[in-house]
Amino acid sequence: MDNHRVTRLGAATLCAGMTLLGMPLMAWALEARLEGLSGDVAENVAFYLDDLDATQFSRARVEGEVQRRTREAMRVYGYYEPVLELTLDDQEPPRYVELAVEPGPRVRIETLSFRLEGDAQGDPPFQEAIDAFPLAVGDPLVHAPYDRLRGRLANLSLERGYFDWRFVDRRMEVRPFAESARLYLALDSGPRYRFGDVTISGSHIERQRLLNLLPFAPGDPYLAGELARYNQRLGQTEWFGSITVRPRLVEGRGLALEDAPLDWWQELDVSGGQVPAAGADGPRLSAAAIGSATGVVRTGPPVVPIDIAVTPADRHQFEVGVGYATDVGPRTRLAWHQPWINRFGHSLDHDLYLAAPEQRFSGVYTLPLENPLRDRYQFQYGFRHRDNEDTRSLEATLEAARRWEFENRWVQTLYVRSTFEDFTQGGESEQVLLLYPGIRWSRTRTRNPTFPSWGDRQRIAFEVSDGLWGSDADFVRVTGESQWIRMFGENTRLVAGTGFGAIETDDFGKIPPSLRFFAGGDRSVRGYAYESLAPRNEEGKLTGGQQLFTATAELQRRVTGDWWGAAFIDTGDAFEEWGPDDLNTGAGLGVRWISPVGPIRFDIAHPFDDEDNAWRLHFAIGPEF
């Protein structure tokens, strides 16, 4: 009771203060003190009485309203004949009510009769919904499961194309005097509609390329989720500024639903104005919105033609980015993206990257094939200048690639690359022209790409160069990596990964720095400078390694909100021979902040194998993947 008194005193003080300030008085919510009830029933009664404003009623009316709401709240749990004794306090208006309840007998289920008619009889989700009904004959009556089943059957009808559905029997017969209830529910789904012809308007892209993205074919049974899926696929192409995917119900069929709004046509749209980013969750079809369509009379066969309206995306898109990392210092990126350059959906990207140790300019021309999202040709070019530690390099690259994405989300890329590199590494200079084919398999899966709560990434690549086709160096090169992110509860996050690489060659001096291996830095072995871990020559200059191995494990814990603490350990090295004698290891602590521009990471790491540097700071912006 003391808690109630404190609540009333606080409210009275606030009310008096507002009166002195000339502000309107707040509404008084009547406080209920219950006896004789517990559990869900008590919580429901408290909920029903929670917004009762005693200032709006006379004292007698307040008593009547408390009784009415209490009985209504108990009825949904099967208590139809409670005995109520209530006492209001002496204040005007009353501030609280003391309510003693004798629940009385509880109604139990005597009959359950649920049945399906129409095509839904052979559609498993409908019977599964009925089988999942949690109550049985003899159980106490609770209204909510019956209401949920009724709503579930209605939603299934709309989501799965039964637009002529109706309940031919929908009864809950309660006999309080017999303490029994009979529940009846019968759905006549009518025929299941099927997808009809697809009409596309406003597209600047060849029609067949859009039809190749359809997850359904005309004549397939209707599924609302397939329309949302198609909308998402269209958005992932980046060809369009806006997309509308709309089912057109043929007029004349006898469809019925209560309270269908007049603007049913607009509510059937699957559109979001702006196209969602690739990989983001696609739009969802509202069952209620689809259901609103059923208030219109239509004629014709049970098919649903699909209307698609699109507008072109901006042909030229520009992006400017700036950042900082201890590996490279300040950095700037300028990007020019052309998501479409002709009616076949070809695209062109240009990218300029500027940082102290590295500057590069690159471009990619993409030719989508039959399935634009999965199959494509890509032609790339690039120029890069590097000046870091003992590495000086000027590089020009051309590449032609064929890309496939499989159902399991693995991506296979077969490519041929030509590289000319003029370099000095560890005091030795060389010029090489390389021509080498390669194959790469990769897969990235994430939930919430900016700061994943779950994700993993795998990549492995093989490359071969030989003088038989005019290359200046003979080598076989393999690289791979695997990374994982997992959440434990809502506040603990594990980030782990490993990477490896190897080059087999008879003349390592001909291998350019871009293909040699180095370790150390923000995204490698923390505690050591960027690309400072590699074999050295007699003069102590870095030469780069023929093999590479790195591994990391990081445990993160939420401190508050978007702030996380981290503890980590990294190990690895680049080396000349298979199986290094030892690995360089660093460990430390860090802070993570999920900022509006992406995660920001600040770490302090201790290198166990570098006596000259007791600690090293690492700072970076951007996600782990």
pLDDT at 28: 58
pLDDT at 54: 74
- Find the mean pLDDT for residues 116-132: 95
Which of 291, 311, 331 is a domain's end point? 311
pLDDT in tens, 502-552: 999 999 999 999 999 999 999 899 999 899 999 999 999 999 999 999 999
In a domain, 598, yes or no: yes
Beta-carbon contacts of residue 403 (< 8 Å; ≥ 6 apart): 375, 376, 377, 378, 411, 412, 413
Does 176 fall in a domain? yes
Q: How confident is the model at residue 301 (pLDDT cuts 50, 70, 90)?
A: low
State whether 574 and 613 are in the same domain.
yes
Check whether 125 has a pLDDT greater than 80: yes
Domain assignment present for 258 = no
pLDDT at site 534: 93
Which of 255-269, 357-371, 432-446, 568-582 is predicted least confidently? Answer: 255-269
DSSP 140: B
Q: Residue 32: what pLDDT?
A: 79
Are 47 and 123 part of one and the same domain? no
Domains: count for the chain: 4
Regarding whether 211 and 180 lie in a shared domain, the answer is no
Q: Do both 50 and 140 map to the same domain?
A: no
**Claim to verify: residue 442 and residue 572 sit in the same structural domain:** yes
597 and 452 in a common domain = yes
Mean pLDDT of 549-556: 96
Please indicate, yes or no, whether residues 413 and 553 belong to a single structural domain of this protein.
yes
Running DSSP on this structure, what letter comes out for residue 203?
-
Residues 562 and 612 in one domain: yes
Question: What local confidence, expressed as pLDDT, does residue 268 receive?
Answer: 41
* Domain stop point among 273, 290, 311: 311
What digits encode the pLDDT tens for the residues 60-91?
888 888 889 999 999 999 999 999 888 888 88
- Mean pLDDT across the chain: 86
Question: 220 and 155: one domain?
Answer: no
Spell out the SS3 assignment of 510-542: HCCCCCCECECCCCCCCCCCCCCECCECCCCCE
Element containing residue 49 per DSSP (H, E): helix 39-49
Distance CA 544, CA 244 (A): 54
Long-range contacts, 166-171 (Cβ 8 Å, 24+): 166/190, 166/256, 168/117, 169/113
Which amino acid would we find at residue 207? R
> In sequence order, what are the beta bridge partners of 341?
none
Label residue 407 left, alpha or beta by phi (over 0 means left) and psi (-120 to 50 means alpha): alpha
Instruction: Encode pLDDT of 372-385 as tens digits.
Output: 999 999 999 999 99
Which SS3 state, helix, strand or coil, does residue 52 take?
Answer: coil
Residue 182 in domain? yes
pLDDT, residue 257, reads 40
Query: What CATH number is associated with residue 217?
Result: 3.10.20.310
Residue 9: band (very low, low, confident or very high) from pLDDT cuts 50, 70, 90: very low
pLDDT at 35: 86
Same domain (yes/no): 422, 510 = yes
Distance CA 541, CA 534 (A): 9
Given pLDDT bands bounded at 50, 70 and 90, which one contains residue 29?
Answer: low
Residue 497 has pLDDT above 90, yes or no: yes
Q: Are residues 220 and 367 located together in one domain of the fold?
A: no
> Of the ranges 244-258, 271-285, 388-402, which one carries the lowest mean pLDDT score?
271-285
What is the C-alpha separation between 484 and 65, in angstroms, rounded? 58
- Residue 456 and residue 543 in one domain: yes
Residue 295 has pLDDT above 60, yes or no: no
Q: From 384, 385, 395, select the one nearest 418 (Cα to Cα).
A: 395
Identify whether 54 is part of a domain: yes
Q: What is the pLDDT of residues 32-59, one digit of tens each?
A: 788 888 888 988 888 888 878 777 778 8
Block residue for tokens 């559609």: 123
Please say which residue of 102, 125, 146 terminates a domain: 102
Residue 579 has pLDDT above 80, yes or no: no
The per-residue pLDDT for 611 is 66
In a domain, 230, yes or no: yes
Q: Convert the pLDDT of each residue in 173-185 to its tens digit.
A: 999 999 999 999 9
Give the strand pairing for 475-488 and 492-505. Answer: antiparallel
Quote the pTM value.
0.76
Residues 447-460 have a mean pLDDT of 91
Range of the domain at 95: 31-102
Whether pLDDT at 250 is above 90: no
CB atoms near residue 587 (< 10 Å): 16
Q: Over range 99-125, report the average pLDDT.
A: 93
* CATH (domain of 445): 2.40.160.50
Alpha-carbon distances of 419 from 72, 354, 429, 435, 452, rounded to whole Å: 79, 21, 16, 7, 35
- Residue 496 belongs to some domain of the structure: yes
Distances (CA, A) of 145 to 73, 77, 127, 136, 150: 15, 11, 15, 11, 9
Residues 6+ apart with CB under 8 A from 513: 386, 391, 393, 421, 423, 425, 544
Residue 92 lies in a domain: yes
Angle at alpha carbon of residue 554, lines to 548 and 557, rounded to 5°:
165
